[in-house]
Amino acid sequence: MIKIKDLEKIYRTEEVETIALNKLSMEVKDGEFVAVMGPSGCGKSTLLNILGLLDDPDAGSFIFNGIEVAKFNERKRADLRKHNIGFVFQSFNLIDELTVFENVELPLIYTGVKSSERKKRVDEVLDKVQIMHRRNHYPQQLSGGQQQRVAVARAVVNKPKLILADEPTGNLDSHNGNEVMEMLTDLNEQGTTIVMVTHSEHDARYSHRIIRMLDGQTVLENIMV
C-alpha cells in the first residue's frame, strides 16, 4: 500500500534549518497495522502528514497504491486523499458548529455522495461506534471518548483503505483510550490499513509492527507477535 524511499523533508525558517525527515524509507503493506513511535521532534508527525497527502516531501519517492504521489499537486492529493484516507487526531478536530451527524457526513459531501445515501451511511457508522443516540448533539456536548468515537466514525464513513491516527488516545483516559484502540483493531481486522503515531507503548501493542524513529530516520522495527 505504501512504499517510501529516501524521503526528505526540511523545514526552514530565517535562522534555523530543521531536518524533519532524513532519507527515510519504509513500507506498509495492505491490511497492516503499524505504530510509529519516537521522541518529540523525531519527525513522526511530518511522516504522517506526508503519508496523509497533507504535505509534500522535498525529495524521495512515495508510492501510494502503486502510484508515485510525491510530486502530486494539491488538487490531485486532495482527490486521492478524500477517497482513500481517513484521519483520527489526538484533539478530535470536530467542527464545533456542526452536529455529530453533520460532522460525520462531511467527508461524504466532499466525495459527492447523494444525500439519501449519505444519511444511510452516516447512520450506519454512527451505529457501529455506538454514538447513534447522540447524532444531533454538538461536539462540546460530548465527553472526550464520545468525541473521539465520532472522529473515528468520520474517518471510516468513506470506507478508506488507509487510516492515519495521530495519537488517537492522547487526550483520553485509559478506559476510553482502550475503547478507541479496540475500534481501530476491529477496523484493521476488517481489512483497513492503519498507521498510528503514538507515545504509548500500551497502544503500540495493538499494532502488528512498531517503527521507531529518531532524528528523521527509522532506527528500529519491532514485529509484534
Partner 1 sequence: MVKNYLLIAIKNFRKQKLFSLINILGLTIGITCCLLLFLFIFNEFSYDKFHKNGKDIYRIMRVGNLNGNRQEIPYVSAAYAPALMNDFPDVIEKAVRVMRDNDLISYNNISFNEKNIYLADSDFFSVFSFNLIRGNPGTVLKDPNSIVVTESTAKKYFGNEDPIGKILQFNKSQQLKVTGIAKDVPVNSHLQFDMVVPLELLKSSRPDWFTNFSLNTLFTYIQLKPNTDPALLEKQFGGFMDKYLGNFFKEIGQKMELIAKPLNKIYFAANAFDSVKHGNKKMVYIFMSIALLILLIACMNFINLSTARAAERSKEVGLRKVLGAVKKQLIGQFILESVLFATLACFLSIGLTELLMPAYTHFLGYDLPSFLGNPWFYVCIAGIITAVGLLAGSYPAILLSSFSPIESLKGVLKVGKKGTSFRKVLVVFQFTVSVILIICVVVIIKQMSYIKNTDLGFNKEQTMIIRFDNYDIASKGHQFKNELLSIPAVQDVSLMSGEPGGFHDSYPFEAEANPAEKYLFNTEFTDMDFVKTLGLKIIAGRDLSDQFGTDSLQAALINRTAAVKLGYTPDQAIGKWIFNTIRDSIKRTIVGVVEDYHFASLKDPINPLVISPGKDNRLALIKIKSADPGPVINNVRKVYSSIAPGYPFEYSFLDERFDQLYRAESRQESVLSIFSIIAIFVACLGLFGLASYTTIKRTKEVGVRKVLGSSVQNIVLLLSKDLLKPVLLGALIAIPIGYYAMNKWLQSFAYRIEFQWWMFALAIGIAITIALLTVGVQAIKAALANPVKSLRTE
Binding residues for partner 1, rule: CB under 8 A, are 45, 49, 52, 54-55, 74-75, 78-79, 81-83, 87, 89, 91, 93, 95, 97-98, 102, 105-107, 109-111, 154
Smaller CB separation from partner 1, 108 or 210: 108
Closest approach of Cβ 55 to partner 1, in Å?
A: 6
Closest approach of Cβ 182 to partner 1, in Å?
A: 24
Closest approach of Cβ 140 to partner 1, in Å?
A: 12
The C-alpha R_g of the chain, in whole angstroms, comes to 17
Inter-helix orientation angle 115-128/144-156, to 10°: 130
Closest approach of Cβ 173 to partner 1, in Å?
A: 22
Task: Look up residue 85 and give its amino acid.
Answer: I
Closest approach of Cβ 70 to partner 1, in Å?
A: 17
Give the integer Cα–Cα distance in Å for 60 and 53. Answer: 14
Smaller CB separation from partner 1, 81 or 212: 81
Sign, CA dihedral 201-207-211-214, equals negative
Give the integer Cα–Cα distance in Å for 45 and 89. Answer: 11
Smaller CB separation from partner 1, 55 or 58: 55
CB-count exposure of residue 148 (10 Å: 0-12, 13-18, 19+): buried
8 A C-beta contact, residue 184 and residue 194? yes
Give the integer Cα–Cα distance in Å for 173 and 178. Answer: 9
Smaller CB separation from partner 1, 81 or 134: 81
Smaller CB separation from partner 1, 11 or 29: 11
